[in-house]
Structure 1
């Protein structure tokens, strides 16, 4: 069977794709930064709990529930934009792995509640129970991340959809894709770095050098490790796709060069414990990587689909309403966070 025959009919868009692509990249970068803080912070709390806990572990545990709530909310817009632009691919991959995908939603809710329980019962729980709970939450977050990576890679490989005919029960995973594991690990190791940076930022706010030193230790070492993981990810890409980052496409190649230089700059800033510089560079690098990820997705789908070929109806009024709602939502969230900080829970 020809894989392209399995792809559903193309949808129409209300507005030009460039608007949705821009919002997809912008909102996903925000989601990714928050996700990295949540996952990286959970890893740090879990690791510090092994030595009997610390003030860093106690402090972080109080911030993780709020951060995870922001992660979940910030993840909705980019997911909707993916489904709007790449509907016939993402909906199909979600159905193929439906059981794992639905379990991930339930697991995320359990993990969210677990973080609250860990914080509010931190003092009253026994040491073993506290460790067990935070490691359970960590396993849940790692599972959810793995399922997201499966979904986002399976949608790019219609040739792997043929597995449905041997496994029609919503239990298809993209495990035979050589790019899956390095892609997943690239995101996970990034979370360790940004989680460490978050601790360093807390340390700067508190004027606590122990926080700063601990945070930057995680930040630097995770960034160094991620260079190797990133190169592994690049090398296992299909040859034609890999070449777009190695001279075949000027934008993709330039972004890879910026990424390599920026990574060296991140390591330098981390070793010098420069909190502001590290934070600015991290935000820039996340956006660079997100644009590269977007180009990679389009390269994978090029044999089957091009975004510019999607019919556009030109109905811009719902789009304007969305933008207004988005601005109001962002302002409301910032206001609520300010109120929370003033209440002393920051």
Structure 2
């Protein structure tokens, strides 16, 4: 073990992994994770950016009817993009669970209720977008209520990425797991806010391109919907939004890179990001030419813009994965070593238990088995891992087995330097056996 790994292990909890084979080759899972996540995030961008633009245009529509029409048209796409985002989110979720099980679930546990809150928050936002979409005519005389529906949806859509980015970011910091006390602590880790701003402006940039395409379709009967706004004006505004948001992304990009801890940096990752950024430059030039050139030429380079920006997005997604893989590699090695040692111990204990005359010892050691399978990931005999060592438990509960059982049955949080212990769901017999085993260690 290298000196770095020794220092890392001294301050970082090193849980055991599940010694199970991957369902697919590692490389295939990585490609699936990157590509499926990019497809998922595309529709997330459209949902978030579309909601923001819908809210803005409906407010502007209070004075200009055409903007209200524009808002209604755009609102009709949000629920579709939302459904696509949900469906396409399954593959990356399963992929990251498989590739980074220990890290993903540790981050989930540490962000706690906020991570779980994504489900009710998303449900509320989705229901409000449907209500907003289908009550347009019903609430035409009560615009304040109708706009409020979308405003609440936008607020939720803007908050959920904070939770997601905080959780995904926390995966990269196993050395912080002992000190993080919930979502607000994790929110202050490096890179969350720059990545969040980058995501918001990416949503606006992609939404601008979507609006440009959507209202530029030949089969879209533009003149039947709008009276004062022209197709060119809307497409020019959409292109301008993409240009402005992309320029801001260019400015935020270096901040995102500089706030990333150096432990995940590699020349492959930096080169991939730079290639992606280089591909976006001609796209911005073509957009600028479309905005400033003759009206009839505004869509001349649209397909080229979409193509090179797709390459940019793929490079950015690949660079993100390269950073994650590099940052977690040392800790993954420690986890693999801990898992290997544990498997050897299990194999040895099983062999000894099966020797003649050891059958009674197996039943006598039921508490030890429960401790090793349920508790040892966080508790060692005489050193602090995540929670206190067994020797400290013996000091606290010596002669009071019932109190120890009560704590294990319904644990809380006592220590500022350790996360709250989760409930283990043990039966009364298991509680008796494991508490007896723990207290025996003091004899």
TM score, norm. by length of structure 2: 0.64
Partner of 2:133: 119
Contact 1:33 1:286 in 2 (8 A): no
- Alpha-carbon deviations, 1:123-169, whole Å to 9, x = none? 222221122111111111111111110110011111221135xx4xx
Give the SS at the match of 2:216.
Answer: helix
Quick one: distance in 1 between partners of 2:288 and 2:68? 23
Quick one: distance in 1 between partners of 2:69 and 2:304? 25
- Alpha-carbon deviations, 1:223-253, whole Å to 9, x = none? 00011111111111223434x2xxxx2x323
Quick one: distance in 2 between partners of 1:61 and 1:102? 27
Quick one: distance in 2 between partners of 1:69 and 1:3? 43
Quick one: distance in 2 between partners of 1:240 and 1:108? 34
Partner of 2:371: none
1:225 to 248, 268, 271: 248
Corresponding position: 1:131 with 2:158: no
2:110 to 90, 96, 108: 96
Over alpha carbons, which structure has the higher Rg?
2
Quick one: distance in 2 between partners of 1:3 and 1:74? 38
More helix by share: 1
Contact 2:33 2:95 in 1 (8 A): yes
Contact 2:34 2:317 in 1 (8 A): yes
Partner of 2:284: 267
Shift of 1:7: 3.4
Corresponding position: 1:286 with 2:295: no
- Alpha-carbon deviations, 1:266-324, whole Å to 9, x = none? 21122233322222222221111110110111122122026xx799xxxxxxxxxxxxx
Corresponding position: 1:143 with 2:159: yes
2:87 to 40, 55, 73: 73
Partner of 2:358: none
Corresponding position: 1:38 with 2:44: no
Quick one: distance in 2 between partners of 1:265 and 1:55? 33
Shift of 1:210: 2.7
Task: Identify the range of structure 1 (205-214 vs 21-30) with the bigger mean alpha-carbon deviation.
Answer: 205-214
Structure 2 residues without counterparts, runs of 5 or longer:
1-8, 223-230, 291-300, 340-443
Give the SS at the match of 1:237.
Answer: coil
Q: 1:80 to 1:129 in 2, by over 3 A?
A: same
Contact 1:104 1:143 in 2 (8 A): no
Partner of 2:56: 47
Quick one: distance in 2 between partners of 1:214 and 1:171? 38
1:160 to 143, 160, 176: 176
TM score, norm. by length of structure 1: 0.81
Quick one: distance in 1 between partners of 2:56 and 2:10? 48
Quick one: distance in 2 between partners of 1:158 and 1:137? 34
Shift of 1:175: 2.2
Give the SS at the match of 1:123.
Answer: coil
Shift of 1:9: 2.1
Number of matched pairs: 300
Partner of 1:179: 191
Partner of 2:404: none
Q: 1:7 to 1:143 in 2, by over 3 A?
A: farther
Shift of 1:93: 0.5
Quick one: distance in 2 between partners of 1:174 and 1:199? 36
Task: Identify the range of structure 1 (258-267 vs 99-108) with the bigger mean alpha-carbon deviation.
Answer: 258-267
Q: 1:11 to 1:100 in 2, by over 3 A?
A: farther
Corresponding position: 1:198 with 2:210: yes
Contact 1:149 1:184 in 2 (8 A): yes
Shift of 1:18: 0.7
Aligned-residue CA RMSD (Å): 2.2
Contact 1:196 1:216 in 2 (8 A): yes
Structure 1 residues without counterparts, runs of 5 or longer:
312-346
Quick one: distance in 2 between partners of 1:282 and 1:260? 9
- Alpha-carbon deviations, 1:91-111, whole Å to 9, x = none? 111111120011111111111
Give the SS at the match of 1:69.
Answer: helix
Give the SS at the match of 1:20.
Answer: helix
Partner of 1:214: 237
Shift of 1:69: 0.9
